[in-house]
Structure 1
Amino acid sequence: MRFRHPDGSIVHLAYCTNVHPAEDLEGVIAQLDGCASLVRKHLKVPVLGVGLWLANTLAERLSNSPVALGRLARALDRNGLEVVTLNGFPYSGFHDRVVGKKVYQPDWTESARLEYTLDLVKVLGELMPADASYGSISTLPLAWRTPWTRSRDAQARRAFDKLDEHLARVQTRTGRRIRVAVEPEPGCVLEMVPQAANWLTPYAGGGRVGICLDTCHLAVQFEEPAKSFAVLADANVEIVKSQVSAALHIAQPWDPAARELLAEFAEPKFLHQTREYGGPGVDDLDLIGELSGHASWRVHFHVPVHAPPRPPLTSTTDVLDESLRHLVGGPHPLTHHLESETYTWSVLPSPPKGQQRLAEGIAGELAWLRDRLLALGLTQL
């Protein structure tokens, strides 16, 4: 969906298709013809934004085959869909039975990660609408935190320098402005905003490499939105994209009722990093016995923003609301790309059954976000 900010610029809102399992062209087109088309019809909008997730093999195929790329473009057009952003974080296998730490591989010390991202740059340059001010690609925050050394950091730096140079050449050659956004995540090398701001400082002011601010991740780390935005402003690091999502919040982890409900979210597919306020953290829900339980917890489990979990559990929509006020509630947007990224529908305690139910859930999230944007003074187009 598109919105006009009071300053006249366009803010895009999309949903991320990493919620869908397909990794080949036929499967992705079926997603667009099916669920994505249903979401647009539920919302009754002329054009719906989708943040495409393309697995590495498909990204390579599309970047080298005008015929394949044309098929994808036609599927988008016939369903009233547009693409201004790609999710370049998962490389492949995002819907394997167990994903876990595999989602961080290959990392930015490996050539395959740069090659994949360059394929995405080429594909997005062809797919994005002619009137879009820029295209964005989110990517992982270098790697999982271990093992990490100075030499590995230097390897990642060289890869990003090559990426930055490539993005500059693409813009000069094609006039298409493609930007890459590093997404801090709990447990990774860059897990908090100050770490990411510091690492991204060499690219500040260039406008090509910046940050993807995931409001679920921000909340899990108990980072305060106002301070985080101030850190980024001081470092002159731009917010290329924001994934507007919510995490699980457990105000009283000593409550047996809360523990019982929380156990329903402990599933083996995805990693659910958990942090305790003012204290340590663990890398998954099966390790929460190591926490004291004397202060509130937040869990890296993307929950639907419009449908809070059963009490006494809650979600971090308060962090999301405050972040939205900073992102688009000021005189000028801090980013023009917002993406709903609840990829966990299939592993919720009560997952939606069937494509129709999933589409209704995704549309519900987008409608909730739309209401927030309208309340902040934006106008839907």
Structure 2
Amino acid sequence: MDLGHGLGHLSYSTLVHAGDTWAEMKESLHTFVPAVKARVSPGQRFGVSLRISADSARTLTDSPAERAELRTFLDDNDMYVYTVNAFPYGPFKGDVVMERVYEPDWSTDDRVAYTNSVADILAEIAPAGVSPSIQTAPLAFAPNVTDDDYIARFTTNLFQVVAHLVDLEARTGRRVKLALEPEPACFLETTAETVAFFAERVYSPQGIAELARLAGLPLSEAEGAMRRYLGIVFDIGHQSVGFEDIPGSLRSLVDAGIPIFKLQEAAALWVRDLTPGVVPQLRVFTDTIYLSQTTMRQDGAVTKFLTLGDALDAYEANPVPTEIRTHFHVPVFLEELGPFVTTRFAVQQALQLHRETPLSDHLEIETYTWDVLPAHLKTGDITDYVTRELEFVRGELLDPRP
């Protein structure tokens, strides 16, 4: 939904629903999204953040009838697509995902072709007056980036998609934006690393010249095109896991001229003071199909782990005063989870900054872990929970508490 006041479009990520194939995504779209709309936006068009996997992209690309049916469904239900999650290429629900979620990464032709096809679909299904965004992976899983050639390869592939977006707007009049999402354990992890990558690889003379060549643009237009089509998703939860100062990180992106094409409201699990007695309760959160990247702070020193289980093992081997944050997306309306807390405060900080000076025209709540939350933390059904999240974020922006 368009929040007005320049605050942008807000919805929730349909990554929370089954959607590995188009048949699954379509069923989820028909089942859940109208029910959420009826609660939070009954008299106003409702924005949809649509997950499109590679399998779904092939189905929609090959079937004009499916695309037409999707547009009709959206129109008939007073809904519109303004952003697509094209981060997970393959299966994301019901099977162990872990680091496979980053494959194929941006060094591959498959990632380029997939992203281009999603852009073409968006140009057709998004409404006039909306410049839709594509959320994509943070280039590569960090351990896989072995040398400069790897970096050069995925940077060139990124520029190939930007060139496609330039051509797409020239042909259709529709601007589609590509947004990289930094994430723990990836090549783009911290805000500082993201700023450095854009300065050294994207906005550098060499980067601008490469885009000019790929897109057939004069140098005088290539830098503007780079900023027009390529930016980032700022996931508040991801950056909170790394103990970043969220307002400071957002300001550094603005100062660097890097477009925040999507501001993602997500909260992480946070344990201020880890004790041996708490560990068993925390291990409940290790039974998950996703990576649970965890940052541990002990005596001012920070250590990073791929999973929460690994971090807890390390703590038990050396049980000194410890604070941890872990990449487990928890409902943004919750400040406490039993004996633990969440980084909801960081979401509130970011929303306050956005309220004062809008940072992005696309906002999205991304809590996709409802199905793997411990049972005692679930209250109501998925529609109840999504509705509460949307009402919380909308309230923070339009009716903030003193």
Task: Check whether TM > 0.5.
Answer: yes
Q: Which moved more, 1:270-279 or 1:214-223?
A: 270-279
Q: Which moved more, 1:137-146 or 1:205-214?
A: 205-214
Partner of 2:324: 297
SS at match of 1:3: coil
Partner of 1:239: 260
Amino acid aligned to 1:124: L
Matched, 1:272 2:292: yes
Change (3 A) 1:248 1:72: same
Query: Post-superposition shift, 1:226?
Result: 2.5
Partner of 1:34: 31
Query: Post-superposition shift, 1:294?
Result: 2.3
Change (3 A) 1:269 1:309: farther
- CA-based RMSD of the aligned residues comes to 2.0
2:47–2:82 Cα contact (<8 Å) kept: yes
Query: Post-superposition shift, 1:353?
Result: 8.1
2:50–2:83 Cα contact (<8 Å) kept: yes
Partner of 1:11: 8
1:266-291 per-position Cα deviation (integer Å, ceiling 9, x unaligned): 11311100102341111001101224
1:70-95 per-position Cα deviation (integer Å, ceiling 9, x unaligned): 11222222333211000111001101
* Mapping 1:1-381, distance limit 5 Å: 1-5=1-5, 9=6, 11-45=8-42, 46-132=44-130, 134-148=131-145, 149-201=147-199, 202-203=202-203, 205=224, 206-254=227-275, 256=277, 258-277=278-297, 278-288=301-311, 289-291=313-315, 294-326=321-353, 328-331=354-357, 333-350=358-375, 357-375=381-399
Larger radius of gyration: 2
2:232–2:262 Cα contact (<8 Å) kept: yes
1:132-157 per-position Cα deviation (integer Å, ceiling 9, x unaligned): 1x110111111110121211101101
Change (3 A) 1:353 1:30: farther
Separation of aligned partners in 2, 1:303 and 1:122: 33
Amino acid aligned to 1:131: G
SS at match of 2:178: strand
1:1-43 per-position Cα deviation (integer Å, ceiling 9, x unaligned): 21112xxx36100111111113333322221221111111122
Q: Which moved more, 1:186-195 or 1:269-278?
A: 269-278
1:86-141 per-position Cα deviation (integer Å, ceiling 9, x unaligned): 01110011014211111010000011011110011011111111121x11011111
Query: Post-superposition shift, 1:63?
Result: 2.4
Q: Which has more helix, going by share of residues?
A: 2
Q: Which has the higher contact order (CA 8 A, sep 6+)?
A: 1
Give the gaps of 5 or more residues in structure 1: none
Question: How many residue pairs were aligned?
Answer: 369
1:32–1:79 Cα contact (<8 Å) kept: no
Amino acid aligned to 2:288: P
Identical residues among aligned pairs (%)? 32
SS at match of 2:11: strand
Separation of aligned partners in 1, 2:288 and 2:329: 15
1:32–1:76 Cα contact (<8 Å) kept: no
Change (3 A) 1:2 1:195: same
Separation of aligned partners in 1, 2:314 and 2:355: 40
Amino acid aligned to 1:3: L
SS at match of 1:52: strand
SS at match of 1:248: strand
Separation of aligned partners in 2, 1:119 and 1:35: 26
2:162–2:229 Cα contact (<8 Å) kept: yes
